[in-house]
Amino acid sequence: MKVFSLALLTLLLAALWTGSQGFSLRSSYSTCCYKDMFIRKKIPLSNIKSYQKTPSHCSHRAVRVELLDGNKFCVDPKERWFQQYRRQKKSTSAST
C-alpha cells in the first residue's frame, strides 16, 4: 500500500510540475521544429493558409506554416520568400 501511495504521489507531483511549466510533454513535441523537419523549397504564397512561430522552449527558431490543404511545414523565418510573405500579409491587414 505504501508503494502505491508513493507512486501516486509522485505521479501527481509530476503532473503539477508539468502544468506549472506552461506546456505539456505532448505539446512541446508537436509544436517544435527539428533540424530534419525544415522544408528548403519556396512555398507558393497563395498556398499559405496561416503561420505560427514556434515556442521559445524549442531548440530551433522556426515558423510552422499551414497550407490550404492542411499540410504543415517548418520554415526558417529568415528565408527571403517567407519575409516577403510576412510583409505582404502585414500590408494587406494594415490596409483593411
Domain boundaries defined on the chain = 34-94
pLDDT digits (tens, 9 = 90+) for 19-56: 544 444 444 456 899 888 899 899 999 999 999 999 99
pTM over the 0.85 mark:
no
Which residue shows C-alpha cell 517548418? 74
In 10 A of CB 39, how many CB atoms? 15
On average, the pLDDT of the chain sits at 80
Question: Which cell goes with 36?
Answer: 530534419
- Quote the CA–CA distance of 53 and 11 in Å, as a whole number: 31
CATH class, 34-94 region: mainly beta
At 87 the pLDDT is: 92
Residue whose C-alpha is closest to residue 35's, from 5, 62, 1:
62
- Reported as a pLDDT band with limits 50, 70 and 90, residue 96 is low
